[in-house]
Structure 1
Amino acid sequence: MPPTSNPTLRQRRLGAELRKLRERAGLTATQAAAHLGVNQARVSMIETGRTPVSADRVRATARAYTCTDDSLVDALAAMTGRRTRGWWEGYREHLPVGLIDLAELEHHATALRVAVVIHIPGLLQTTDHTRALFNQAVPPLRQYEIEHRVTHRIKRQGILHRDNPPTYSAVIHECALRMGYGGPPTVRAQLRHLLDMSELEHVTVRVIPFGSDSFPGTGQSVDYVAGAVPQLDTVQLDTHHGCEFLDAEAQLAKYRFVLDRMETSALKSTASRDLIHSIAKDI
């Protein structure tokens, strides 16, 4: 397969996982190339995601690296081939690459856990709420840039409405529910939508109220995206410079702990819906 100059997050992750297997086997790139019957440059291209590989090549590589985790190997083999021509590819020339990567990551997720403090989670936002947020972007966005971002975010929400959707668990601080983005009509519609989404069997919404005696974490929004196996989980953080993706084992463990603690601090689902309904009535 010919190399690609702009590998997707999924292709880069596959290469990174193959590099981890090589390093655990104690092999240098040169030694690995000798085992696999290729040159060192090809090993490097595979590990950076720039050269797509076949499922057979992944399995052969895992054997050469003495990996005996069949579940992981199967999951890596399923990630092979050229990039998926998902709907998000139509936005590649219009949006930052991190947003394209996020849509692809969510598309392949088996479960999602989200914690937010200031904003409603993106997958639970209304169109008007989303547009109000992007109108506040710094530096300001042009109108066509706002519309690209709005339609991209709304299309991302399709994963919650497809057949066999991933489970989705959101912890939202009361602060986010009381922010006035877009004005009272937009806020009321957003809260009603949040209530409707929380009724879906695979969606859980829980609120950390003002007055809670504990609040773990730093207040940073966290998206935890579960892969086919735990080793392929990813954390996505929103930053002022764009999306940041983390996948080191220690990082994943840290954010699982933070999310567990935040869920412990939150109200149960029924009490959370009651609070959301009360706030909507008061607006």
Structure 2
Amino acid sequence: MQPATAARVDQFWDDGYLLLNGFFSPEECDVMKERMALIVEAMDVPAHCRTEFSTEQEEQLQAQGSADYFMTSGDQIRFFFEKGVFGKNGDFLVPKECSLNKVGHALHSLDPVFKNVTHSPHVQELIRKLGLMEPVVVQSMYIFKQPGIGGEVTPHQDATFLHTEPLGKVIGLWIALEDATLDNGCLWFIPGSHKRGVTRRMVRTPEGSMPRTKFIGEERQFGEEEFKPAAVRKGGLVLIHGEVVHRSAKNTSDSSRHAYAFHIMESRNGKWGKENWLQPTAELPFPSLYT
């Protein structure tokens, strides 16, 4: 394991991201992959994902169902699919284990395997080295990046979607469960971009509105030459500052790029944005990372 030395911690705060190869063992990665395979095998695919709608009214109902399914997923384990994986009768056009974009957003609390990983002693030790005093876990997701169809993730900042007051309270932990390479869609970052602030936010719209969210502000334009690749081997951990600009390309290779990721917030002297799409619930308040 690459140790998180004081120099490397400084590097994280300077660059906005940090790669730690060997943070988890290949065996630990396989346990997570095997657990997700069981979750996918038992999944109940919601009707709005399977059904092809033909009238304007039905399309509106589909959009409402999809929006509600996403907006209420913060304390659930739910399934989000790649485009074009269902036929007109709702049947899978690809093996169902190859149809998913991600599973989220409460694996860290509702599944024992992912809960243990999230709260593992070496994760807690790492976050303590960063100086966080009262971190809470706000969301988690399993990302598949399917071979051939794994979609592009355009340049963005996590703080656009996970806003805190003040800024700078969110950190992502991204665990490579398979090698993440230039060919299968590894992450790319703009070093130091977390120091430039956030110019765009996704916020909730008034209750009953469609769409359920909207963007305020404008995203900056970024040059291709600004991005640096962050290829990482199976078991590697990527620390992601909430304001650093990052992206990943479409996976056009024949190799998947599975990852488990979760976000934490320093709750000491920090508040969760009330307009965020994701909100804690009475059933699942944000749990402390250190418990």
TM-score, normalized by the shorter chain, greater than 0.5: no
Ranked by relative contact order (alpha carbons within 8 Å, sequence separation 6 or more), the top structure is 2
TM-score w.r.t. structure 1 length? 0.28
Select the structure of larger CA radius of gyration: 1
Structure ranking higher in helix proportion: 1
